[in-house]
């Protein structure tokens, strides 16, 4: 699938969002016997700059960058 921005409601410090990678490929699935293969995992903040994301971005700016 690709990169997804998730809003973090209960987080106290900025940024109040995170970057995840979502995939439906069979090799990324944990359980390969299920009907619908879906898995998402968090991208570490150290890799955000390489993807064009910054900790100073707002949620709307991050979602726009994700598009």
- Per-residue confidence (pLDDT) for residue 35, from 0 to 100: 64
- Rg value, the chain, Cα: 14
How confident is the model at residue 17, as a pLDDT?
A: 95
Give me the pLDDT at residue 64, please.
95
Token pair listed for 18: 């995170």
This prediction's pTM: 0.74
pLDDT along the chain (67 residues), means of 10: 89 92 72 69 92 93 92
Specify the pLDDT at position 62.
Answer: 94
- Domain ranges in the chain are 2-66
């Amino acid at each position: 699938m690709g990169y997804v921005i998730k809003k973090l409601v209960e987080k106290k410090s900025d940024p109040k969002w995170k970057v995840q990678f979502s995939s439906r490929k069979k090799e990324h699935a944990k359980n390969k016997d299920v009907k619908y293969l879906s898995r998402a995992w968090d991208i570490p903040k150290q890799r955000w700059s390489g993807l064009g994301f910054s900790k100073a971005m707002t949620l709307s700016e991050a979602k726009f960058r994700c598009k």
